Copies of this chain bind each other. A is one copy, B any other.
């Protein structure tokens, strides 16, 4: 980590999107979840990300989510907001709308469905950056986009001031470390890991923070981990990471094959939040199934074992 203060750093969870039993956005639950995160010590909020089921929401729903969170937050922490769409023109439309609704920073991926390459991706990111007047972060998530952002391109975009940083969910720890090393000499270029269980190593390598889906469930744990790392207490950070890795086992409780990988992970976060009394249902966006009673019981065991309920 650089010792220079940055507006975007620390623990920035991607906020889950609660739904009512009928499938609408559950605004009171979303307000409650936002308060839970702020009270948990998060240093930012990532709105309309994958963990928020962004691609499962209509535009109207996305707008509701951002305005709801922004209302509760009231400027306490910066809001990073996803503009997650398939191609350049659509991302630009989405990014501009999100900025108009209060985004402090925009997060965009490479194109998907389209079969792109590095050259096109560079133009894509530059066009999006030029279309808004807030910082742009690249979200590298090849498991969804099926395109790995090249490290050289990310570093070039950082050096040129096109992007303010990267949220890395690439699962590629070698290129992540090389990104961290390359980023050390670039001012105002901050790297975040999206992987819940390797945060200690990421911070040791120089990451600025973490965007943990599991942070919805245990924001205080991630804040403790981050504070230990900032204090140079690496053994303490690793111990907290091991505890959080045990909490993360909630995503493996769904019965094999019953629900999709998407519905398993995000459904586990929502189910835990229901068990903790923070949101009202674990209903998922269509066509995802909610976790069932057995799966909920298994999650309860993990939460009890790790002291969360």
Q: State how many angstroms separate the Cβ of A200 from the closest Cβ of chain B.
A: 6
Within 8 A of B (CB), among A100-130: 111-117, 119-121, 123-124, 127
Instruction: State whether the Cβ of A260 lies closer than 8 Å to any Cβ in chain B.
Output: yes
CB pair B287–A127 under 8 Å, yes or no, is: yes
Pick the residue among B58, B174, B198, B234 that contacts A197 (CB under 8 A): B174
Stretch from A5-13, A27-35, A142-150, A270-278 that touches the partner: A142-150
Pick the residue among B55, B146, B245 that contacts A177 (CB under 8 A): B245
The closest CB in chain B to the CB of A249 belongs to: B178
Copies of this chain, complex-wide, total 4
Stretch from A85-93, A155-163, A217-225, A290-298 that touches the partner: A85-93
CB pair A115–B260 under 8 Å, yes or no, is: yes
Pick the residue among B88, B172, B177, B257 that contacts A287 (CB under 8 A): B88
Instruction: State whether the Cβ of A51 lies closer than 8 Å to any Cβ in chain B.
Output: no
Q: State how many angstroms separate the Cβ of A18 from the closest Cβ of chain B.
A: 16
Instruction: State whether the Cβ of A171 lies closer than 8 Å to any Cβ in chain B.
Output: yes
Q: Which of A57, A86, A289 is packed against the most chain B CB atoms within 10 Å?
A: A86
Q: With a CB–CB cut-off of 8 A, which chain B residues contact A93?
A: 58
Residues in A lying within 8 Å of B, measured CB to CB: 55-58, 61, 84, 86-90, 93, 111-117, 119-121, 123-124, 127, 143-146, 171-174, 176-178, 181, 195-198, 200-202, 204-206, 232, 234-235, 238, 241-242, 245-246, 257-263, 285-289
Given contacts A56-B114, A177-B241, 5 further A-B contacts (CB under 8 A): A55-B113, A87-B286, A116-B262, A124-B286, A198-B201
18 CB contacts below 8 A, A to B, read: A55-B114, A58-B90, A86-B86, A112-B112, A112-B113, A114-B144, A114-B260, A116-B262, A117-B260, A119-B257, A119-B258, A120-B259, A120-B288, A174-B197, A178-B197, A181-B246, A200-B204, A205-B238
